[in-house]
Amino acid sequence: MGEFRVLEIKQSVFADNDRRAEKLRAELKRKKLFLLNLMSSPGSGKTTTLSRTIECLKERLKIGVMEADIDSDVDARSIAKLGVNTIQLHTGGMCHLDADMTRQGLEDLDTGELDLAILENVGNLVCPAEFDTGAVKNAMILSVPEGDDKPLKYPLMFSICDVVLINKIDVLSYFDFDLEKCKSYILKRNPNARIIPICARTGEGIEDWVNWLKEEVADWQK
């Protein structure tokens, strides 16, 4: 039998993407542009949370939004109505964005005068966690109906996020969701994670989340 080489393709792809992501972050730092990568599963309230966030911050910060989806533009249409610069990114069937895709989006977003760019990533708890987008911070939303055991089932997602928003706390009494147990599961995966319970529909907890984001943007722009 002839000899052959075995190539670890996945490892190579990740390593190459990590280099591109670090380069992008360095460019963002020079421009004093803060990029937030917002992730969650479908139906968690990601777009509603984003809308609340924009409403609270658009008078203080210049904001742009990149909406990533496999094929639709539903979310981009909703966000554009809030008066912020918005573009739709179609992934062509891919379930995540990587650093190059994010760079392409930022180029089309016209970030010249922006303080904050928000990437609403493709909705799932697996693929987006594997690829560094070049964002300054990663945030994710876990909704109460999804269950308090998700940090155990999707450890990578929770381990890479700087902040976890536990959304839909207004329906806690209707679901078998132990908030304190969920927090302990998250901290087990990521002791440094900031955990903020919110209700995007009513606005509960949104002030804490917005204050965290404002402080992070200010620190990045120093």
Q: What is the pLDDT of residues 170-184, one digit of tens each?
A: 999 999 999 999 999
C-beta neighbour count of 33 within 10 angstroms: 23
Q: What is the pLDDT of residue 94?
A: 78
155-162 average pLDDT score? 98
Q: Residue 68 and residue 101: Cα distance in Å, rounded?
A: 10
Domain parsing of the chain, residue ranges: 9-220
Domain spanning 9-220, CATH architecture: 3-Layer(aba) Sandwich (3.40)
Residue 168: which residues within 8 A CB-CB, separation 6 or more?
44, 45, 143, 144, 145, 199, 200, 201
pLDDT at 45 over 80: yes
Grade residue 42 by pLDDT with cuts at 50, 70 and 90: very high
145-158 average pLDDT score? 98
Tokens of 67: 């909406």
The interaxial angle of helices 9-31 and 99-109, nearest 10 deg, is 30
Q: Residue 39 and residue 159: Cα distance in Å, rounded?
A: 13
pLDDT at 47 over 80: yes
Q: Are 117 and 84 in contact (CB under 8 A)?
A: no
pLDDT at 20 over 80: yes
- Mean pLDDT is highest, among 7-11, 70-74, 182-186, for 182-186
Q: What is the pLDDT of residue 72?
A: 66
